[in-house]
Chain A
Amino acid sequence: MSYKQKVLDHYENPRNVGSMDKNALNVGTGLVGAPECGDVMKLQVEIDELTGTIKDAKFKTFGCGSAIASSSLVTEWIKGKSLEEAMSIRNTQIVQELSLPPIKIHCSVLAEDAIKLAIRDYLNKKSKNSHLNKEDSKI
């Protein structure tokens, strides 16, 4: 069976490929691996701290066409969204958009989990940092 047009499009012209500084405070990184096939996906989000929205998103995926297309698609989707909106993206939406066959559903799960991990990573950093600031002010 051949890949659907949308998958091919994302595979041949992936959007938002690249890396961000994972140590930057306003950047969250999500790294996930698929137990089914050894695919790995890294998704990073840059947060606009003033508005609490996702300013930019980048990904790098080593895996099959569907995994690349899923991650490419979600970087487009989450740009400009609030954290809550991005967190609410479900893998079924990705499956629908890309018409993924059942055997490739795990790729969409990977993308959903990558978003969540990336945002969680950002929130963790933020809360740790504000904690540190508080301690600083104590001194």
Chain B
Amino acid sequence: MIQVTEKAINEIKRILSNDPTVQGAHLRVMVAGGGCSGMSYKLGFEKELPAPTDKVFEKDGIKILVDAKSFLYLSGNVFGIERKFKIDFNYVESKYYELCKVLHPDRFIQSGEAALKVAHERMSFLNLAFQVLKDEDKRRNYLLKLHGICPDLNQKDSLQEVPLELTEAWFELQDLLSENPTQVHEKTIAFLKSLKQTQDETQIKITECEENYDQSLDRALLEEIAKLLKKQNYLNSLEKDFYKKIKAS
């Protein structure tokens, strides 16, 4: 899907009604090579019928045509999947190979330097998208970012996500370690156990929130997930610290 705003539609209508030469034409939108960052948008009216490979969008009776390759960039959704936590990765993978066959830069060697450059950029864009979708953590972060939620770990309110009981146990354990390293074996095991348990519980909560989000698309759940991620991040750094300290003593 691409989105066309109300304002854009009104402007298109205004041009179409003011200029008799383009009456009844469709709007073509494309991304082409050139421009200062390697790519540029091109807009134009045309009266011919859309090509079979074109994607056609209609809003308020206005047809907007996008060729298949430009659509890759414009949609921001290369694989045509829903923006949810759980995805059908087999589908994404087969789609990826399908797109690779069509878009691989080797196919554009004969097409001139500019086209080859675009092909390279398109391919790295496609690869990046695939890498993000493949990795569960990256995919989660991407989805949160799309909604303007970044699990920013330097935010001040991050303190609220620190589980207090564990912090206390961690403090006491280190206190013991520094004073009497030989007698803390039991405490160590107990701490590790409750740490693992809290990590597992947090992971379960994250998964629950993700499943609920996929059903309801409720933004509040994304915020909850970001909070839980912060907590999990803290727990993981505790775990790392724990093993470092144990090894040292």
Consensus secondary structure, chain A interface = mixed
Interface residues on A, range: 10 to 19
Asked if A113 lies at the interface with its beta carbon under 8 angstroms from chain B, I say yes
**A interface footprint on B152-186 (CB within 8 Å = 1, 0 otherwise):** 01101011011010111011001100100000000
Question: Which A residues are in CB contact (< 8 Å) with B249?
Answer: none
Question: Which B residues are in CB contact (< 8 Å) with A37?
Answer: 237, 241
Partner of A35, one of B174, B237, B240: B237
Consensus secondary structure, chain B interface = helix
Asked if B188 lies at the interface with its beta carbon under 8 angstroms from chain A, I say no
Asked if A40 and B153 make an inter-chain contact with CB atoms under 8 angstroms apart, the answer reads: no
CA distance A34 to B153 in the complex (A): 10
Asked if A40 and B171 make an inter-chain contact with CB atoms under 8 angstroms apart, the answer reads: yes
Question: Which A residues are in CB contact (< 8 Å) with B166?
Answer: 33
Asked if B156 and A42 make an inter-chain contact with CB atoms under 8 angstroms apart, the answer reads: no
Question: Which residue of chain A has its CB nearest to the CB of B159?
Answer: A113
Asked if B162 and A35 make an inter-chain contact with CB atoms under 8 angstroms apart, the answer reads: yes
Question: Which B residues are in CB contact (< 8 Å) with A109?
Answer: 156, 159
CA distance A64 to B154 in the complex (A): 17
Asked if B139 lies at the interface with its beta carbon under 8 angstroms from chain A, I say no
Distance in angstroms from B150 CB to nearest chain A CB is 15
Known: A62-B174, A105-B154, A109-B156. A35 touches B168 (CB 8 A): no
Question: Which B residues are in CB contact (< 8 Å) with A38?
Answer: 170, 234, 237-238, 240-242
Question: Which B residues are in CB contact (< 8 Å) with A33?
Answer: 162, 166-167, 170-171, 234, 238
What are 13 A-to-B residue pairs whose CB atoms are below 8 Å? A31-B168, A32-B159, A33-B162, A33-B234, A35-B230, A36-B153, A38-B170, A38-B241, A38-B242, A40-B171, A60-B171, A62-B175, A109-B156
Distance in angstroms from A89 CB to nearest chain B CB is 15
Known: A105-B154, A113-B159. A40 touches B170 (CB 8 A): yes
Asked if A106 lies at the interface with its beta carbon under 8 angstroms from chain B, I say yes
Asked if A35 and B170 make an inter-chain contact with CB atoms under 8 angstroms apart, the answer reads: no
Asked if B171 and A42 make an inter-chain contact with CB atoms under 8 angstroms apart, the answer reads: yes
Asked if B233 lies at the interface with its beta carbon under 8 angstroms from chain A, I say yes
Question: Which A residues are in CB contact (< 8 Å) with B231?
Answer: 35
Within 8 A of B (CB), among A72-124: 105-106, 109, 113
Given A31-B164, A33-B171, A35-B233, output 19 extra A-B contacts at Cβ < 8 Å.
A31-B168, A31-B171, A32-B167, A33-B170, A35-B153, A35-B230, A35-B234, A35-B237, A36-B154, A38-B170, A38-B238, A38-B242, A40-B167, A40-B171, A40-B174, A60-B171, A60-B175, A62-B178, A109-B156
Asked if B161 and A35 make an inter-chain contact with CB atoms under 8 angstroms apart, the answer reads: yes
Question: Which B residues are in CB contact (< 8 Å) with A34?
Answer: 162, 234
Within 8 A of A (CB), among B195-249: 230-231, 233-234, 237-238, 240-242
Question: Which A residues are in CB contact (< 8 Å) with B242?
Answer: 38
Asked if A36 and B168 make an inter-chain contact with CB atoms under 8 angstroms apart, the answer reads: no
Distance in angstroms from B188 CB to nearest chain A CB is 15
Within 8 A of B (CB), among A37-88: 37-38, 40, 42, 60, 62
Question: Which B residues are in CB contact (< 8 Å) with A35?
Answer: 153, 158-159, 161-162, 230-231, 233-234, 237
Question: Which B residues are in CB contact (< 8 Å) with A106?
Answer: 154
Question: Which residue of chain A has its CB nearest to the CB of B245?
Answer: A62
Asked if A36 and B237 make an inter-chain contact with CB atoms under 8 angstroms apart, the answer reads: yes
By CB atoms of chain A within 10 A, which of B154, B168, B178, B242 has the most? B154
